A and B are shown apart, each in its own frame.
Chain A
Amino acid sequence: MTVYTETIAGHTFSFPDLRTLLAKASAPKSGDALAGLAAESAEERVAAQRALADIPLTAFLEEPVIPYEADDVTRLILDTHDRDAFAPVSGLSVGAFRDWLLGYSVDGATLEALSPGLTPEMVSAVAKLMRNQDLVLVAQKRRVVTRFRNTLGLPGRLAARLQPNHPTDDPAGIAAAIIDGLLYGCGDAVIGINPASDSPQRVVELLTMLGDLIDRYRIPTQSCVLAHVTTQMQAIERGAPVDLVFQSVAGTEAANKSFGITLGLLAEARDMALALKRGTVGDNVMYFETGQGSALSADAHHGVDQQTCETRAYAVARHYKPLLVNTVVGFIGPEYLYDGAQITRAGLEDHFAGKLLGLPMGCDVCYTNHAEADQNDMDNLLTLLGVAGCNYFMGVPGADDIMLSYQSTSFHDVLYLRQVLGLRPAPEFEAWLTDQSILKAGCELLPAAPHHPLLAAGPWNA
């Protein structure tokens, strides 16, 4: 292994390996400090960034941050690396790669062709040399379009996951939040419930309710119940109408093991969902969530910084051609991302890294009550990610998730962003909203109708 050094004004900083260099070059995060990986001074951080800028991108192919033999995510990354796609940047250092990405001549098509040639470590490294505006600018170039029952990620479009959680999974309570969200023009990314119970029977009941609702009102969207993947597989076996299969994923084999998953299990789940052939305009059937800090939380980070671990999770996700991927950026708590500035930075890094690797990135812009953050921080990150071209955000009634006890973004927040940036819902969903007299001119809601058909009948009107 190479030792990396950087001399500033006569003082030499030394970094024993690539993994340490990446960690020390990371933007300040409480989680990296907690793991004992963070730079010990602001100057050491810059020294690491300067040393990192000079490293050739090929170094990340030669020196895996987690050994090939020890970790199946490393094997996935290296075994699927596309040397031909990598060729345009193969002679560049990390610093030169940043400049290349910012160049006028590098457009979306260039980046799309490049994606299979990039490894997560290259993307994580270049992000560490980027300011927030760089993360926005480059991500904005790269649109990632996916399809199931509608088309997500097109330029000029912004979707929302409708997240109608309820602390006891009460069907009527969930339905009330769904109706609310649909009447606010949200739900095109997915109607996705985090169940309080992991009981297969309850998951089947919720999936059936969602399937009936979508069929009855002919809503061009997809449903998901975000139970453990094995529970969803059981639901498929019991004949439940599963559109998307969800799972939280992480960037190391050990962290995935702590989630109760393997790469093979995800492939098996995807095959089961594909076999149902429920998509009408496409067959992206997977939905993944991630978040910086998950590997450390599982004591499975191998001395790798949390942003790099997170980016490695995207290599896992992209292998399964997902419809949706989002980082749940502030959910994990202040011991990993302390305040609004750290949450904002992580959200921009994650969106950038996901897009560069070819993922249809959304973001759960969120925080908990013990973090040094508030709704204004969320407004800022939401707006930044909107400019960066983020595919979707969460729509939670009033931004207050009463099941998971955290604050995310609301239906109103989605309407705000569509309005200020002139964005419209997914095209098929927009047509439905117009047909339902909910929306006009793409982003403006019509006056609320007291007797709207959505309010006519259902468990919410018993």
Chain B
Amino acid sequence: MDDLTPTDPWRNLSRLTTARVGLGRAGGSLPTREVLDFQLSHARARDAVHLALDVPTIEDALATRGWPFLTVQSRAADRAAYLQNPNRGRRLSADGLAALQPWRHEPAPGYDVVFVVADGLSALATQRHAVPLLDVTLPRLQALDWRIAPIVVARQSRVALGDEIGETLGADVVVMLIGERPGLGSADSLGVYVTYGPRVGRSDAERNCISNVRLEGLSYAEAAHKIVYLVTEARRLKLSGVALKDETGSTTTTLE
């Protein structure tokens, strides 16, 4: 594209911030270059919100690794229902609940931990980062002889869906790997939520969150380190959330 409109003389201020400073102007309006750059960022974020999780690809990847898994859906039938009524994304569909029953372990807790691979608000994040993160996390827990439940792949899922999954399976801790709400500069950011004693009705204050898992953010190795720490501590202290401090570094409390 021919670019006739210069950036502003103070464009170098952008070395200090990722904010869009010194963009230049056509009259008082945004130059074409900047309009298109913004549109691209927004388009990526929008696509990420509406992209359906490619479940077969994830199932293939899990099967290849020899990990047992099953797939469920929330009570949100589609994306529109999911976006308009968050509560539907927090409970399992009847089929989903039935699918979990054969794996139920009684007396609870029959499993030390269950991992949920959930689309959340960015299936793109889940598609890209969930299995690679499991690749570095699961072997560390297996080495500790932990009883790991089948991995649950969940569609149209909010963070709290893990409560019903963990409660139904009879797991000590649920770890949700879930796509975060896309920002303009971060369409593929994965969040991790650790909840001890999962059961329907847990509040967000009872979870620990690891945010911003992506190539430009928190690495898989760092995230795995935090997950192992939090899950271990949650089981030792028999709690999670505000009373469990992440001593491995900063923990953010971003929700969905």
Contacts and interface: CB of A to CB of B under 8 A. Distances in A.
Do A and B share a complex?
Answer: yes
Interface of A: 30, 33-34, 164-167, 170, 172-177, 179-180, 183-184, 334-335, 338, 368-370, 374-375, 396-400, 402, 405, 407, 410, 412, 415-416, 418-419, 443-445, 448-450, 452, 455, 460
A184 B30 CA distance: 12
A462 B193 CA distance: 40
Interface residues of B, number: 39
Contact of B42 (A375, A405, A412, A445): A375
A184 B13 CA distance: 14
Contacts of A177: 17, 19, 21
B29 interface: yes
Interface stretch (B79-87, B194-202, B232-240): B79-87
B45 interface: yes
A179 B19 contact: no
B23 A402 contact: no
Contacts of B48: 369
Interface in B33-58: 34, 38-39, 41-42, 45-46, 48-49
A398 B38 contact: yes
Contacts of A419: 27-28
Contact of B9 (A176, A375, A448): A448
B199 to A, nearest CB: 20
Nearest to A30: B84
Interface of B: 8-10, 13-14, 16-23, 25, 27-30, 34, 38-39, 41-42, 45-46, 48-49, 83-87, 121, 181-186
B173 to A, nearest CB: 27
B19 A170 contact: no
A140 to B, nearest CB: 23
Given A402-B185, A412-B25, A375 B38 contact: yes
A377 to B, nearest CB: 12
Contact of A398 (B20, B28, B45): B20
B25 A445 contact: yes
Contacts of A175: 16
Contact of A335 (B18, B84, B182): B84
Nearest to A405: B183
Contacts of B25: 184, 412, 415, 445
A400 B38 contact: yes
B83 A415 contact: no
A166 B17 contact: yes
A443 B30 CA distance: 16
A438 B137 CA distance: 55
B30 A402 contact: no
B29 A415 contact: yes
A370 B19 contact: no
Given A34-B84, A368-B181, A445-B28, A402 B17 contact: yes
A412 B35 CA distance: 11
A399 B38 contact: yes
B42 A176 contact: no
Given A397-B21, A405-B183, A170 B16 contact: yes
A400 B14 CA distance: 14
Contact of A455 (B10, B87, B182): B10
B10 A369 contact: no
